[in-house]
Amino acid sequence: MKKLAIESKWDRIYKDSDFSVPANVLLDNEFLLPEQGLALDLACGLGENALFLAEKGLESNAWDISSVALEKLKLKAKKKNLNISVKQRYIEPNCLPENVFDVIVLSHFLDRSLCNAIMGALKSGGLLFYQTYVMEKLGSSGPKNPDFLLARNELLQLFSPLKVLVYRENSLVGNLDFGERDEALFVAQKS
């Protein structure tokens, strides 16, 4: 019953939503992407990360619980003549295969129980691009529930076996009129 309730919630959210953009962590660090390989946009929503990865030449996969979001992604991919493998999935640790992906992207999704499975799903040398909301926020964007917000430097701890390539969490330091303040951005590589 829990899966159905979550699916219904996200279907309602995406029913009237069409606007999305690739995650900044991906856009700002696209130079780190391999020229080819298998990529996964996990908990993809409307799938802008999956579209971006496919445009960069990666074999792109997009998984989400919302059939509504995935149907919208399929239409966008068709219009752009991009081949994206789309799967409706309840994201849980046992749905991630071992040593398969060269790139995994997550944005605005946090389930700490998935961290080991995400690392396990990366091939050796694979890259994880992760961006999500933090507890120390200026604005009101993102979830209110602290279970879905990162503590300071938490991504570094959750994915400590990986080699950190990029980490940014600006928090409430410096000129608060500039910079990304409500999210942490993280890129790391599996040995």
What residues does each domain of the chain span? Answer: 2-189
Where helices occur in the chain by DSSP H, the ranges are 2-15, 24-28, 48-55, 67-79, 115-121, 154-158
> What is the C-alpha separation between 73 and 153, in angstroms, rounded?
32
Question: How does strand 59-64 pair with strand 84-88?
Answer: parallel
pLDDT in tens, 117-143: 999 999 999 999 999 999 887 777 788
Phi and psi for 117 in degrees, rounded to 5?
Answer: -65, -40
Q: Which CATH architecture has domain 2-189?
A: 3-Layer(aba) Sandwich (3.40)
- pTM for the full predicted model: 0.94
Query: 2, exposed or middle or buried, with CB in 10 Å at 0-12, 13-18, 19+?
Result: exposed
pLDDT in tens, 59-91: 999 999 999 999 999 999 999 999 999 999 999
